[in-house]
Structure 1
Amino acid sequence: MIHRTWRHQPALVPARYLPGGDLAADLAAGAGPVAKARVLLVAAAGLRLAPLYVAAVAGISIGIDEFAGPQARTRIVAANSTNVANLEQHRVWTLFTSAFVLGGGIEPVQVVLLLLLTGAAELVWGRRRLAEVFLLTHVIASCLVYAVLQAGLRHGWTGQEVARAADVGTSYGAHAVAAALACSLPVRARRVLVPAVLVLVVLPFADARTFTSLGHLLSTLIGLLAGWQLRHRPLAGRLRRPGVQRTDRPALYIFGTPQQAHDALVFVLHLREQQRIRLDDAVVAWSDAPGPGAGRPYRMHELQTRDLGVLDGALAGGAWGIVIGTLAGWPVAGLVAGAAVAAAVAGVHDTGLSDAVVERAARSVPAGRAVLVLLTAPADQPRIAAVLSRAGGIPLSPAE
């Protein structure tokens, strides 16, 4: 009898993969404040998306104030708000344009804080992840607020004036980025920052319970889930490139302990972060030897970086479901249907390395040892082999 577990065992105590780990290592290696500041300045010189977005928001706001005036701002805000009136009329562009329009004039402090927050996220995650967390959370949180307000209007829980209330700005995305950034940092920082970002949204919601405070709370919770995903499933949600197929022969490396294999996996993930290799999937697998008699069954343990579980699928499916449901006018139905369908698909569909390949790899090594299974481009395998051999990894042919 074979039992599987997807949880970390007690031996794997260090932090999991952290996006931006290379920047953290460079900062730790800096001798003194001046050297650390130089590392940050060099890294900040490569920022592109964060300053571009902040400049767009500031430019639009200044342009409205200088050339259009207060009345035009009121009309622009109304036309781009993600409120019930607009979304029931299928004005779906408001889900995106609302992130670029401010309800009031631009404030220098607001611009600086937004630039620092998004800039830090881009340094740690990269441009693609920043865009995904900020924009997708802004859209999803807006749809969730719309669903709540729609239900409130139908059941008489709230006044009709809320249907045309202004709902624009950068706050949903900013709260999500702050929460995801807090959750994706090392353990010591997370212990302080995660409770802090929760307190900053829970207290205003408990005090006022407006749809804006609800949106901030929802976007923060979504951001925490995104930060968790960045650390635990770093390859999830990435499309496979044509150069690497499921039928390709994976690269296998044996390590003395699961902890050593885990550390090697983190190193390989950072190589991919540096764009030095192409990596489509990576799994650490190990097994327990069956004990005497039937009291202790054979167990195989896996640490996945790509394949989504049922809960992961339900969260992702629910997020996309509520967006699609909002476009159709039935956000709650879309949320439920999307979560159910995606959870069912995730439960039966293997998106990464096949379970059969991973199980054979785990069975091929002695109990107590671990195997790192990598699906990568053949041209990158010699470089990976040279790096992992120095880390104590022993190459193993898939046929062995």
Structure 2
Amino acid sequence: MKRLYEDPPGLVPVAYLPVGDLAEALRDAGGWRARAIVCLSFLARVRLAPLYVLAVVVIGLVLDHAVSPQTELQVVLANSSNVANLRQHRIWTLFTSAFLLDGEVRPFVMVQLLLLLSVAEVLWGWRRLLEVFFLSNAVASCLVYGLLLAGVRANRIEDAITVASDVGTSYGTHAVAGALAFTLPVRARRFLVPLALGVALVPLLSDATFTDVGHLLATLLGFLAGWQMRRRPLAGRLRRPAPLRAGRTAAYSFADVAQARAALTTVLRLQERLRLRLDDAVVAWSDGARRTHLRETREMSAIDGACAGACWGVVLGTFAGLPLIGLVVGAAGAAAVAHWHDAGLRDSTVDATVRALPAGRGVLLLLGDLGDLGDPAGQPALAGALTEIGGTPVPGVVEGAGVPDSR
């Protein structure tokens, strides 16, 4: 099956924005009081951010006031993600270093951290916040380790740098800020993306340290994470395609591609509200030459695989003391797997569904637990929302059923 990924002429690309229902609720709210109530209702979702900030504050206060300076220094150095520790395969420091501060606890900084992480958790949920913050902290630390190790081996950097302290929340904070900038609407993104990049670049123009380099790398990782959230909101682990059986698959046809993509946004909103669970969602259409075009939300392209493989490769390569080689091998291997792997809805099923419809019509194909989780008797929320947009159910989208009925 030939798959093309460009948008048809005249179609403005529509990217998924996490928790778009918050923006809709704020638009519908009348006055500042109503908007404040909406914001407070969404803040009830915050769980991870205050717990993490509380842990950092408590550990910092204990080290500052309950132990001797010598003990505090030993704890910091033992949990620092520096060259000496990572060279000795103390991989746990990639995690524990994010809970320690190299200095006193400053209330203003902690409040800023709490606000930033709380906003991210409201927009993404605690799982995505956990992945972005701690995975970016680990990857940035490994990249800095690889650069420093290469510099030491080339006699360009002094050996004293190998035991320098490298702890704190800054790598994860820069990554979350970068990802937030990329997941917000275009108008805010035009201002916040350059701002986040400038905050990381300005220190490099003066007395740059390896920590400043780490901040820039973490910011770029955050940009990458935000970009992936918008392009592949259902992306996850590479695994075998889920079985296509009745009750787990559905397809709706629309007058044009724009309607189908608007329907995709609606379906993703229903998942955010826990009305259904999606494994995959694909918008597809065919042109006058009967070529099939796709916009996928889960299956990884070669570029997506290379980005993910590079991140995991540099972390796993740190185990062997070869982080930069791990980065290259991981990127190449994951790109190859992603290119050949068919995850989620099968390409043959998508192609058969599109070819059974007139050219130019858009179709939205879904895979997952599609029944209303509050009403197991059927799919009232899904069917009602898509019918209102102009969708028409396409029957027969089940593996082994042949070409779907186009009526």
- TM superposition score category, shorter chain reference: over 0.9
Q: In the alignment, what sits opposite 2:321?
A: 329
Q: In the alignment, what sits opposite 1:294?
A: none
Q: CA deviation at 1:345?
A: 0.4
Structure 1 position 72 matched with structure 2 position 64: no
2: CA distance between counterparts of 1:207 and 1:9?
46
2: CA distance between counterparts of 1:160 and 1:26?
56
Structure 1 position 349 matched with structure 2 position 377: no
2: CA distance between counterparts of 1:45 and 1:66?
33
Contact 1:316 1:339 in 2 (8 A): yes
Q: In the alignment, what sits opposite 2:106?
A: 107
Q: CA deviation at 1:15?
A: 3.9
Deviates more, 1:11-20 or 1:232-241: 232-241
**Pairing of 1:183-194 with structure 2 (within 5 A):** 183-194=182-193
2: CA distance between counterparts of 1:391 and 1:38?
29
What root-mean-square deviation, in Å, do the aligned CA atoms of Structure 1 and Structure 2 show? 1.7
Q: In the alignment, what sits opposite 1:261?
A: 260
Structure 1 position 208 matched with structure 2 position 203: no
Q: In the alignment, what sits opposite 2:388?
A: 390
2: CA distance between counterparts of 1:208 and 1:3?
52
Mark the CA change 1:289 to 1:128 in structure 2 (over 3 Å): closer, same or farther: same
2: CA distance between counterparts of 1:69 and 1:9?
66
2: CA distance between counterparts of 1:9 and 1:193?
29
Residue-by-residue CA offset, 1:95-139 (whole Å, 9 max, x unaligned): 100000000010011110000000000010011000010010000
Q: In the alignment, what sits opposite 1:197?
A: 196
Mark the CA change 1:10 to 1:106 in structure 2 (over 3 Å): closer, same or farther: farther
Q: CA deviation at 1:64?
A: 1.0
Q: In the alignment, what sits opposite 1:180?
A: 179
2: CA distance between counterparts of 1:10 and 1:74?
61
Amino acid at match of 1:394: T
Count of residue pairs the alignment pairs up:
390
Contact 2:83 2:145 in 1 (8 A): yes
Q: In the alignment, what sits opposite 2:400?
A: none
Contact 2:170 2:215 in 1 (8 A): yes
Structure 2 unaligned regions, length at least 5: 373-377, 398-403
Provide the TM-score with structure 1 as the length reference.
0.94
Identity rate of aligned residues, in percent?
53
Deviates more, 1:65-74 or 1:219-228: 65-74
Contact 2:137 2:218 in 1 (8 A): yes
Residue-by-residue CA offset, 1:22-79 (whole Å, 9 max, x unaligned): 1111111111111111111222233110000000000100111121132222111111
Contact 2:7 2:13 in 1 (8 A): no
* 2:245 paired residue among 243, 248, 255: 248
Contact 1:284 1:371 in 2 (8 A): yes
SS at match of 1:285: strand
Residue-by-residue CA offset, 1:161-195 (whole Å, 9 max, x unaligned): 11011000000000000000010000100010001
Structure 1 unaligned regions, length at least 5: 291-297
2: CA distance between counterparts of 1:47 and 1:362?
41
Contact 2:299 2:344 in 1 (8 A): yes
Q: In the alignment, what sits opposite 2:368?
A: 376
Provide the TM-score with structure 2 as the length reference.
0.92
**Pairing of 1:273-292 with structure 2 (within 5 A):** 273-290=272-289
Structure 1 position 304 matched with structure 2 position 264: no
2: CA distance between counterparts of 1:130 and 1:16?
20
